[in-house]
Amino acid sequence: MNGLVKTLTELGMEDDADKLRPIAGFAQKTRRTTSKQKLAGLKPWLRVQALNVTRHAAALRLFRHEEFGTDPASPTDAQIDAVNQLISSLRANLMEMSRQVGIIADSAMNKQNTNELQQLMISTEQAHDWVRATEQIWDFYFELFGQRQSRFGNWLLGCDRIAMDCYQDIYMGLGVARSIPSPAPFAYMRTGFSPATFRRGIPLSKLGQQINPFPLIQLPYHRLVNPWTLGAILHEVSHNLQTDLNLRQAIPRGIFQRLRQAGMSRKVVGTWTRWHSETFADMSGLLLGGPAYVASLMDIAARSPQATLHFNPSKPHPIPYLRVFINLELLHRMGFPKEARKYRQIWERLYPNSRAGNIPSEILETFPKAHKLVVDTICFTQYEQLGNKTLAEVTGFKPQHQQMIQEAGERLAAGNDPGIIPERFLIPASRWALDNRLAPAPVITKNFYNSLARR
């Protein structure tokens, strides 16, 4: 036990060491009075078992504010503090388990009977299981924060700033004051095809079902290297906004009521209600980013006919084929009929037969009416959570914004400062520059991230 106290002291954990000193003193006195008949080599081995648990627990330290850098790309103090608070709550239990292992180890070293020895094995196993669970969380954030020290740090900083801009736009447009969410969203890179998000305040399997303290935006490398595809940020941030604005119950309830009042079957209503979160994220993303969001959506929805027209009753995403038409309905209502017609013509040319897949007939037959009602419910219905405003009123992309984007796209292509344009508009600006061949793709990517880094 004295060895454990010494280990904790060496690792700078004096508070934990102080808790163990009285026990260590008691154990030392106990050892003087025990039997001298001991199995050779057992005592050192038992001591190591307790030592291993304590040192393993001690290694799962809190993160220091400066250890992942001090430049703008580094995690914020609020983000590090939130993670440290989570780790601290787990370490408190871990240190108590380590203390108990120390007590049992001292008893086992003195008595050396089978029951005491097996009790020690059980205790060390439980402690190591808890260590591994805590280590999983520590490793997760260590990797995420460590990315900010890589050459991708400024790219991820740019994504943070886009996510922050989305939050600021929404919260500034509310009809009532709301508590300011903190910490801010944090972007990180992952391999794979699809972006994803982990919302604030929900248990995550990656964290051993512990509560996620702030929004995480997961972006594949191929999206980062092609910034005109980063409409994904607007979509993933919108999932978090739906949660932080307490709309995750109001939206599906509204969809259910509107479609049932329209006389649609429970099967159809249930399908649209299940799609509520992904549909909200699309609608919000389009209202935040404008017409280019639809192009970005078509990038990912356009697959083989078998994939794009495939209906999976368990998936939360609308059928890819129908998903584009839902967004085109909103785009038209936002004041962009010309753009909506252009994208519709492209989509119908790609997929002329809506019945080429396995989409249920009832879904297809009710779609012309259902998708208009759903768009109206999400975007043009007042909600108390928005201060009795509609989502389109809170964050409504307007035709004049597209003029700003086009000018910013020209500046990006030329390597000039795009000006005071909101960060989120740089995504469609890069798309405009690419679509109009104003500069090579690598140049647009470089200027896109340079512009965000200078903010």
pLDDT in tens, 139-192: 889 999 999 999 899 999 999 999 999 999 999 999 999 999 999 999 999 876
Residue 16 pLDDT level (bands cut at 50, 70, 90)? low
What does DSSP say about strands 203-204 and 210-211: parallel, antiparallel, or unpaired?
antiparallel
User: Which has more pLDDT, 81 or 103?
Assistant: 81
CB atoms within 10 A of CB 225: 13
| Average pLDDT over the chain, rounded to an integer | 88
How far is residue 441's CA from residue 222's CA, in Å, rounded to a whole number? 13
Mean pLDDT of 309-337: 96
Residue 433 pLDDT level (bands cut at 50, 70, 90)? very high
pLDDT in the model for residue 362: 97
pLDDT at 3 over 70: no
Contact partners, residue 198, CB within 8 Å, separation at least 6: 204, 206, 212, 215, 216, 218
How far is residue 162's CA from residue 295's CA, in Å, rounded to a whole number? 18
Angle at 434 between CA 429 and CA 437, to 5 degrees: 125
DSSP state of 383: B
pLDDT at 49 over 80: no
Tell me, what amino acid is at 63?
F
Most confidently predicted of 13-22, 63-72, 124-133, 444-453: 444-453
Mean pLDDT of 365-384: 98
pLDDT in the model for residue 82: 93
pLDDT in the model for residue 29: 44
pLDDT at 278 over 70: yes
pLDDT in the model for residue 402: 96
- CA 139 centroid distance within chain: 16
pLDDT in the model for residue 17: 56
User: Which has more pLDDT, 434 or 45?
Assistant: 434
pLDDT in the model for residue 237: 97
pLDDT in the model for residue 328: 98
pLDDT in the model for residue 23: 46
Residue 15 pLDDT level (bands cut at 50, 70, 90)? low
pLDDT in the model for residue 301: 94
pLDDT at 95 over 80: no
Burial 127-144 (b: 16+ CB within 10 A, else e): bbebbebbbebbebbeeb
